[in-house]
Structure 1
Amino acid sequence: MKTELALFQALISINVSEQKANAVIDALETDMLSRLATKAALTALAVELKAEISQLEAKLTIRFGIMLSTAVGVMITAMMLLH
């Protein structure tokens, strides 16, 4: 509310009509409400990202384990074939 009042007063001080000043403030408020994120939205996004990161960590750990097991198996097989 402070910002809107300050903007209104600034526009009026430079001889902008009240109607146009109100139109500018309404447009700015509409943009701010539709484009800016709220603290609640950012918090929800952070929680969602943490959950996704945890899932990706689990998948990465499993894939790394499979690759390591495969590499060890290939090495053991190669050693057995060479002897």
Structure 2
Amino acid sequence: MKASIALYQALKSIDISDERASAVVDALENDMATLLATKADIKALELATRADIQALERATKADIKALEQSTKADIKALEQSTKADIKTLEQSTKADLKALELATKADIAQLESKLTIRMGVMLSAAVGIMLTGLRLMLP
């Protein structure tokens, strides 16, 4: 209010009419009342901002907690899935190794049989050659 009176008096001292000086003072008071923030406005804004920040902090903490729990659950599920996959792979590998072992044993048995036959043929041929040689040497 003091500023309005001082402004009015300053305008009057430079020969501004009463109507114009009053209009300027009224416009200034109106603008100050509607456009400028008061200490109460700023205090209310401060309180509202603090409340918003606290609410945001609580919501963020809750979100982080939920994310942590979800991540732990996902990791646990992945761990179980990985263990199951490893178990399946282990069983499959054992079955493949068993099949390979059986196939290798069958191949070895087949080779033994072929070698035995070849050895028999070679032994028979050697005996035949020796007998023929003895016949030729003995008249």
Gaps (5+ residues) in structure 2? 84-139
One-letter code aligned to 2:66: I
Runs of 4+ in structure 1 deviating by more than 2 angstroms, as ranges, are 1-16
Which residue of 1 is the match for residue 134 of structure 2?
Answer: none
Query: Of the two structures, which has the highest relative contact order with CA contacts closer than 8 Å and spacing of 6 or more?
Result: 1
Distance in 2 (alpha carbons) for counterparts of 1:4 and 1:62 = 52
TM-fit CA distance, 1:53: 1.4
TM-score, normalised with respect to structure 2: 0.53
One-letter code aligned to 1:7: L
Which residue of 1 is the match for residue 77 of structure 2?
Answer: 77
TM-fit CA distance, 1:9: 3.9
Count of residue pairs the alignment pairs up? 83
Find the structure with the greater CA-based Rg.
Answer: 2
Fraction of identical pairs, as percent: 36
Distance in 1 (alpha carbons) for counterparts of 2:79 and 2:14 = 86
TM-fit CA distance, 1:82: 1.0
TM-score, normalised with respect to structure 1: 0.81
Distance in 1 (alpha carbons) for counterparts of 2:24 and 2:77 = 75
Q: State the secondary structure of the residue aligned to 1:16.
A: coil
Gaps (5+ residues) in structure 1? none
Provide the alpha-carbon RMSD of the alignment.
1.7
